[in-house]
Structure 1
Amino acid sequence: MDIKQSVLSILDEILSLKGRSAGFTLETPLLGAIPELDSMAVVALITTLEERFGFMVDDDEIDGAVFATVGTLVGFVEGKLAA
């Protein structure tokens, strides 16, 4: 499974980006750079990541750094899957 591609697909779906995520790289900024990524979208994104990848996220694991860039979000998912 390509985690980056899966995360991009989820971002596109949750944020209704209409395919814009296809051009995202690991360095693409998220929080503060994509207007669609508001607090409600973060909750939906976390819930969808949990469902798709089969892990649970504790409240204390989430901060702005996780959503800083595509790379930090992919790294977070990879870390959860490795745990």
Structure 2
Amino acid sequence: MTVTTESLEGVKAVLAETLGIEDRIGTVDESTPLFGSMPELDSLALLDLVSGLEDRFGIVVDDAEFTGDIFETVGSLTAFVDTKVDSES
């Protein structure tokens, strides 16, 4: 899975803002586990996160696209965002 640095930094920024983890976002990289590993990322925060990603990247995430695979790691989420940006541009 290849992700762009720009997208990765954008996803990290949305994660930091949504989850309130600005103090430790510097330790987050593509391999950082998400759902089930970050206590701040519960089901409500997940909806806020997706909304923030939609706003930042100008994408629309359909309910059917919500799968565990997307939220496995920061890298998998970023790859999903890259795919959505490519398909909607």
Shift of 1:19: 2.7
Map 1:1-83 to 2 at 5 A: 2-83=6-87
Residue 31 of structure 1 aligns to a residue whose secondary structure is coil
> CA-to-partner distance for each residue in 1:28-74, whole Å, 9 max, x for gaps?
10111100000000000011111111111100011111110000000
> RMSD between aligned alpha carbons?
1.1
Structure 1 outlier segments of 4+, above 6 Å: none
Gaps of 5+ in 1: none
TM-score, normalised relative to structure 1: 0.95
TM-score, normalised relative to structure 2: 0.89
Gaps of 5+ in 2: none
Higher relative contact order (CA 8 A, sep 6+): 2
Name the count of aligned residue pairs.
83
Give the whole-Å Cα distance in 1 for the aligned partners of 2:29 and 2:54: 22
